[in-house]
Structure 1
Amino acid sequence: MQTTAVLSRDPAAPFSVETVDLDEPRDNEILVRIVAAGICHTDLVNRVLGKPDRPVLLGHEGAGVVESVGAAVTSVAPGDHVVLTFRHCGACPNCAAGRPAYCRNSTALNHFGRRPDRSARVTVAGLPVRDGFFGQSSFAGYALATADNTVVVDPAADLAVAASFGCGFQTGAGAVLNALRPESGAWLAIYGAGAVGSAALLAARTVPGVRTIVVETAAARRKLAQELGADEVLDPAEIDTGAAIGEITGGGATHALDTTGSPKVLAGAFAALGTGATVVVVGLGGGVPEIDVRDLVLSGKTVRGCLEGDAEPSTFIPHLLDLHTRGLLPVDRLVTRFPYTEIETALAEQHAGSVIKPVLIW
């Protein structure tokens, strides 16, 4: 079948809207009519893998309606409303332990994973497209997924809001609710108030008695963080945030989340922790943070990574959507919708800081 897709042929050039050919679903595949797809920084990073003769089809926060399923698929049916998320094998020790984000086969399944027989799912002008990103490549009117990364959701859910639970919102909310697990009386410092950090802030607000500090350079995002319920907002360009956090909390944050991927920010977050406190890192940056080993040992602090919010998506995504439906997790405040043909406008407004989470609508 033919559908419209947003392709990247050159990371230095604009995305292009093109007609592509999509294969019919194999026995283990699910054909989804995409309604919405969030744009994530991870999509932009992976544009570099394209070539003029083999463009990249990205998108890993898709949501839509199941059109048809292969003969071996039993967990979803045509007409189901679904959110697409990351793939996992379901059989390795980490998957068996309920940690699918750390699946030992994750790279092969998610990083433009191909069919076992190497046949093309998507072609353009007869040439194969680099697709299979997070097992979906959902920057298109239709996408092929599999049962392990397809989560059935309430048909009443707004799919434009639900889409980003597939990655960004799941990552931020899960880092708080699954990894950090703050309790009443905790002080949570969040570094970066983009989509992931803002989702983390909203998740923290669902836990009674947790107080939050948001550290963010952009004035518009600090203002939004205040509107979303942050107890304190700090501009790291204006003040010594470590000293300010120590004074606000009376000794240091009990929990912290770094969404920036910056070694310097992580080192500052670590230094601003109180005794026995933990900082969770979700940003995929590079470099080595300067962490005082004596402080690490004598203060009993912890630094740990967290991928996809330590989530089990089949249960966590419906849980988050339920919180949203009940008005406890207003992530719709973070979403701005754009027709898929306006992806360049969406990216420009996100880069300018006027948009937190751009979502493409088909």
Structure 2
Amino acid sequence: MPSPTLDVEAAVVEEKNGEFRLRTVSVQAPRPDEVLVRVVATGVCQTDAHSRSQDYPVPLPVILGHEGAGIVESVGSAVRDVVPGDHVALTFPSCGRCRACRAGAPANCQHGFELSFGASRLDGSNAYGGGGVHGHFFGQSSFARFALASERNTVRVADDMPLELVGPLGCGLQTGAGAVMNSLRVGAGQSVAVLGTGAVGLAAVMAANIVGATTIVAVDVNETRLALASELGATHTVDGRTENVADQLRKIRPDGFDYILEITARPQMLAMAVELLAPMGVAALIGGAPAGTKAPIDMNSLLNGGRMVRGIAQGDSQPQIFIPKLVELYRTGRFPVDRLVRTYEFADINQAFADASRGSVIKPVLVMGD
């Protein structure tokens, strides 16, 4: 017997760089390990923009969205972590069975890319119907009034946490904060430079302040974002429009930085980061570049001084642990994510993307309303 379906309004991208169009699609009922969530709000992330432009090719037409937050509508028979009525964040998918997942590192899941960008379940099936539309983007496709996720990428949060602030915790803010707290384990008294102060970079700045880093440098070309970075914990800022970034960073830390987070996805910035590390320092690549992008790194800079380059996905988070931690940090005033967010009605999704592209908003969040 076919699964019962639910008709859902969704924002669909039908062609490369196309506008989002609101359409009615059908979604099947949850499988045993799946969760149907009524989406209340969902963040807009640069990865959605990259997928829309096919920098990260995904099957079209597709429902994007991967920072969903909402209320559990129904669950599959095997689900135990959440029940209908729970408030939840939706986060990145993972298989739960590969070597990385079994080692407690779901952000590095062997099937993570396929689950995120394949726009289908891991077995190739698609629960969405209507004009050949694809769902399951990042295991959720949250640019819709209902999202079908798995138990693994559904995280219960406190009912009193505003859901319009919860969504971004599932990807961008988790990535920036987690890079500092989980991946690099930055300690008190250490030095951090953050190249790029969008949502990910500002989350990293806030996290570096929380853990007690004493030199926190924010680098960008947007003076408004640099001013906000200073308010959120940056001890120094560098404006790439008017200053030589490398020269300014050398003045701030003549002996080099312990950690540099490269979020701009520009090859020359990663190469510069390696050159500005202290011995044993780490350059962390976080920004996602188009497939095939290469950076011209001086190999001797790595060899001499034990410097390292490492990639970081999703802040090496274990979401069921880390997202509630970020919620608690927000509630105690130490992680003010509300300073980054501007809300938009769901119908204004194209305006939200346009504003994000212009840099006039840091973290757009779509609110579904009634």
**Given the two structures, how large is their TM-score scaled by the length of structure 1?**
0.94
Shift of 1:116: 6.5
| Correspondence 1:28 to 2:33 | yes
| Residues in 1 aligned to 2:121 and 2:199: alpha-carbon distance in whole angstroms | 32
Superimposed CA distance per residue, residues 224-264 of structure 1 (whole angstroms, 9 cap, x where no aligned partner): 21222211110223222222222212311111100111110
Q: Give the one of 217, 222, 227 matched to 1:218.
A: 222
Q: Match of 1:99?
A: 105
Q: Match of 1:44?
A: 49
Alignment partner of 1:6: what SS? strand
Q: Give the one of 342, 348, 367 matched to 1:336.
A: 342
CA contact (8 A) 1:10 1:50 kept: no
| Correspondence 1:204 to 2:208 | yes
Aligned length: 358
Would the alpha carbon gap of residues 117 and 109 (structure 1) be closer, same or farther in structure 2, given more than 3 Å must change?
closer
Q: Match of 1:324?
A: 330
CA contact (8 A) 2:186 2:213 kept: no
| Residues in 1 aligned to 2:119 and 2:161: alpha-carbon distance in whole angstroms | 29
Q: Match of 2:3?
A: none
Q: Match of 1:90?
A: 96
Q: Give the RMSD, CA atoms, in angstroms.
A: 1.6
Shift of 1:172: 0.5
Mapping of residues 1-362 of structure 1, within 5 Å: 1-47=6-52, 48=54, 55-115=61-121, 119-124=125-130, 127-286=131-290, 287-362=293-368
Q: Which amino acid aligns with 1:34?
A: V
| Residues in 2 aligned to 1:275 and 1:117: alpha-carbon distance in whole angstroms | 46
Alignment partner of 1:360: what SS? strand
Would the alpha carbon gap of residues 102 and 128 (structure 1) be closer, same or farther in structure 2, given more than 3 Å must change?
same
Q: Which amino acid aligns with 1:360?
A: L
Would the alpha carbon gap of residues 61 and 326 (structure 1) be closer, same or farther in structure 2, given more than 3 Å must change?
same
After the TM superposition, list the runs of 4 or more consecutive aligned residues in structure 1 that deviate by more than 6 angstroms: none
Shift of 1:328: 0.5
| Residues in 1 aligned to 2:72 and 2:270: alpha-carbon distance in whole angstroms | 41
Superimposed CA distance per residue, residues 211-233 of structure 1 (whole angstroms, 9 cap, x where no aligned partner): 21011011221122122221111
CA contact (8 A) 2:12 2:61 kept: yes
CA contact (8 A) 1:8 1:50 kept: no
Alignment partner of 2:166: what SS? helix
- In terms of mean alpha carbon deviation, does 174-183 or 142-151 score higher? 174-183
CA contact (8 A) 2:121 2:139 kept: no
Shift of 1:293: 2.0
Alignment partner of 2:279: what SS? strand
Q: What's the % identity of the aligned pairs?
A: 42
**Given the two structures, how large is their TM-score scaled by the length of structure 2?**
0.92
Alignment partner of 2:211: what SS? coil
| Residues in 1 aligned to 2:248 and 2:94: alpha-carbon distance in whole angstroms | 42
| Residues in 1 aligned to 2:37 and 2:248: alpha-carbon distance in whole angstroms | 49
Shift of 1:274: 1.6
Would the alpha carbon gap of residues 88 and 12 (structure 1) be closer, same or farther in structure 2, given more than 3 Å must change?
closer
| Residues in 1 aligned to 2:214 and 2:86: alpha-carbon distance in whole angstroms | 36
Would the alpha carbon gap of residues 268 and 179 (structure 1) be closer, same or farther in structure 2, given more than 3 Å must change?
same
| Residues in 2 aligned to 1:130 and 1:196: alpha-carbon distance in whole angstroms | 27
CA contact (8 A) 1:193 1:222 kept: yes
Shift of 1:12: 2.9
CA contact (8 A) 1:217 1:235 kept: yes
Shift of 1:11: 2.7
Shift of 1:329: 0.5
| Residues in 2 aligned to 1:117 and 1:173: alpha-carbon distance in whole angstroms | 32
Superimposed CA distance per residue, residues 104-149 of structure 1 (whole angstroms, 9 cap, x where no aligned partner): 122332223534775542222xx33111111110100001111111
Q: Which amino acid aligns with 1:313?
A: P
Shift of 1:62: 0.5
CA contact (8 A) 1:50 1:130 kept: no
Alignment partner of 1:198: what SS? helix
CA contact (8 A) 1:183 1:210 kept: no
Superimposed CA distance per residue, residues 305-332 of structure 1 (whole angstroms, 9 cap, x where no aligned partner): 1111011111011111111111110111
Shift of 1:50: 6.8
CA contact (8 A) 1:190 1:197 kept: yes
